[in-house]
Structure 1
């Protein structure tokens, strides 16, 4: 059935008014975090802009252009296009095992020539938009009904299973946390979350048997890193040594021995927080985490001010994505969770992950700019 949308009367916003409505302190926070990343990558390269710091800055500037484009776009476009975007992202993920590019034993990228990207990154945004659209039209009295959970569970489960097949446990975890978090924020009963937790516990023995050898090794290494100090436990042991050696005030910019002498692996991507903590110490690490925390406070504030369910859940979903990235990365490098290969947002080197995060933050600003807009269904019928 055709779905028509109409918004409550609201003044038309020209570009000048949109610029005034933009949350500029939030943008300054995002820029500050990206500059921390540029400085860290400059240090990792031994005081050189190439190959990482300069590209990081260029990508961030390009990402800012995308952020403004998304922030100033009509929110109704994204409401109408949420499901088509999700289907495109799902189709691209389905192509990965067929024609994807393999790297490091995993097939996660689609590429042509020198250009490559991860469809799973696009899916993180598409999943948030699709779930937000679904709950925009779901009557509150139906949220608790079991049949109302089928569509969102399928939306979450399909990309999650495809991510596990790549294999990409970190991305699968992100899908689960973001999707589950949005269901909780939408008002789904605690009973269903409890049932899922019990089901996961019961399925753990079977899931352990299905894990790849290297994934099992990561879990065992997480439990006891010293069982293989020069092999699977090397990453986390070197990370803990680097963080501990930084002390309270750190060794100083470009003075971290674990990073500069190449004892620390993946120091420009997954373990960049370790390198930063070694050089800047406890003070620097807490300051960086405080920037992330303040960013999440701003996102929460902007989400709560939105009148429509769609805008509120989009902003909250992107905030969940940022929180999950930061939490898993920091917990990973400090030995609190197994190593799963999740970058630190806006700080780690990486093109697709950075642009995805900046576009996601653009959707937060879009929700904020359009916070007074609400929608109504013109026709009753299917929720789809």
Structure 2
């Protein structure tokens, strides 16, 4: 759908009269909690990463604001170019990426390192939104199996390149974003059942090709006591930290698991463990309530989007936020395998912060323009 040129003359104050300020408030609240929590998590384990995280969040807020100023339908035209560019970056990672802890996931731009896999989440959401916006009107009776083969390929291409790095967690999120959009595209029930079967078969086929440490994480999830000092160490120490927080927690910077460096990756993948140990069950409920408010607000934006592109884009971005929270918290408390997924706005990482803030900016953009002709 071509952009409505009449929007060019719309006063910015009229647009911002419909700005979803409740979304901005929740995002800023989670960001503030994240910085505060990182201040504790990095006291003994790392350099004060909360300082650089604050800087990245400031940049992210600027990016989000800039994104809201451009009619989101302009991104419709750029969706495929952006998708192709991200695929090229993922290919470059395989050749020129930096090796860190046995994985090749980062590209260097001078002093700055970034993960193209984070951009893949946005690129898949944009590409599928563009595809479904143009194609779904032709599918009045819903999508059959062959009708979703191309969307399926759009998801799998970057996901497989990310899995090769290896980065199982981000690959799963990319697939979750795409499949969430597919679920909202009126896919026939028989096709969904067939996809579920293909997913199970695919998991069985992919499993032998996982890295040994990835296999071990799955095996220790199924049998937590099998290798408590090896592959199961992360999950075990995390559950100890979460449980030791009890109702009200031990207090900021008083976590024994955190200060004793028992928690691996406590400033990234296991940042929720730090929060749970120091702020307890009540603190966890507060944080999860904020995430719930964020996701429900973005679901409302998706449901009331003014066009199909905005609807499918908001669905994909909402799926990205929801699945990252769901998988990260699930692995931290031991109900899901450890796969390396960050917690939005809580885990340290510049690439992740910029992508989340960009997603929030796009969601606010869709929300504030649903009332404008």
Shorter-chain TM-score tier: over 0.9
Query: In structure 1, what is the Cα distance between the partners aligned to 2:201 and 2:242?
Result: 36
- Kindly report the root-mean-square deviation, in angstroms, between the aligned alpha carbons of the 2 structures: 2.0
2:90 corresponding residue in structure 1: 93
Query: In structure 2, what is the Cα distance between the partners aligned to 1:346 and 1:173?
Result: 19
2:290 corresponding residue in structure 1: 291
2:153 corresponding residue in structure 1: 154
Query: In structure 2, what is the Cα distance between the partners aligned to 1:45 and 1:317?
Result: 32
Structure 1 residue 212: Cα displacement = 1.6
Counting matched residue pairs gives 371
Structure 1 residue 13: Cα displacement = 2.2
Superposed CA offset, 1:142-161 (max 9, x none): 64244431221111111111
* Match of residue 75, structure 1, among 64, 72, 75: 72
Name the SS for the 2:196 alignment partner: helix
Structure 1 residue 370: Cα displacement = 2.1
2:337 is the counterpart of 1:338: yes
Query: In structure 1, what is the Cα distance between the partners aligned to 2:207 and 2:55?
Result: 42
Aligned pairs (5 A) from 1:279-318: 279-318=278-317
Distance 1:277 1:101, change over 3 A: same
The answer on whether the counterparts of 1:243 and 1:277 sit within 8 Å (CA) in structure 2 is yes
Structure 1 residue 257: Cα displacement = 0.8
- Unaligned stretches of 5+ residues in structure 2: none
The answer on whether the counterparts of 2:45 and 2:259 sit within 8 Å (CA) in structure 1 is no
Aligned pairs (5 A) from 1:1-384: 5=2, 7=4, 12-46=9-43, 51-138=48-135, 139-141=138-140, 143-372=142-371
Distance 1:210 1:23, change over 3 A: same
Distance 1:288 1:151, change over 3 A: same
More moved, 107-116 vs 137-146: 137-146
Query: In structure 2, what is the Cα distance between the partners aligned to 1:54 and 1:112?
Result: 21
Structure 1 residue 260: Cα displacement = 1.4
Query: In structure 2, what is the Cα distance between the partners aligned to 1:153 and 1:91?
Result: 19
Name the SS for the 1:163 alignment partner: helix
Distance 1:340 1:246, change over 3 A: same
Name the SS for the 1:225 alignment partner: coil
Query: In structure 2, what is the Cα distance between the partners aligned to 1:92 and 1:141?
Result: 37
Structure 1 residue 205: Cα displacement = 3.8
Structure 1 residue 320: Cα displacement = 0.5
The answer on whether the counterparts of 1:63 and 1:359 sit within 8 Å (CA) in structure 2 is yes
Name the SS for the 2:225 alignment partner: helix
Distance 1:10 1:142, change over 3 A: farther
Detail structure 1 runs of 4+ shifted over 6 Å in the superposition.
Answer: 8-11
Structure 1 residue 89: Cα displacement = 0.7
Distance 1:360 1:265, change over 3 A: same
Query: In structure 2, what is the Cα distance between the partners aligned to 1:43 and 1:326?
Result: 21
Structure 1 residue 349: Cα displacement = 0.8
What TM-score, normalized by structure 1, do the two folds share?
0.92
Superposed CA offset, 1:333-379 (max 9, x none): 111111111111001111101111110111101111222468xxxxx
The answer on whether the counterparts of 1:125 and 1:318 sit within 8 Å (CA) in structure 2 is yes
Query: In structure 2, what is the Cα distance between the partners aligned to 1:34 and 1:83?
Result: 31
What TM-score, normalized by structure 2, do the two folds share?
0.94
The answer on whether the counterparts of 1:109 and 1:118 sit within 8 Å (CA) in structure 2 is yes
Distance 1:349 1:203, change over 3 A: closer
Distance 1:76 1:210, change over 3 A: same
Superposed CA offset, 1:109-145 (max 9, x none): 1113422111111111111111111111112326424
Structure 1 residue 90: Cα displacement = 1.0
Structure 1 residue 9: Cα displacement = 6.4
Query: In structure 2, what is the Cα distance between the partners aligned to 1:321 and 1:203?
Result: 22
Query: In structure 2, what is the Cα distance between the partners aligned to 1:145 and 1:37?
Result: 43
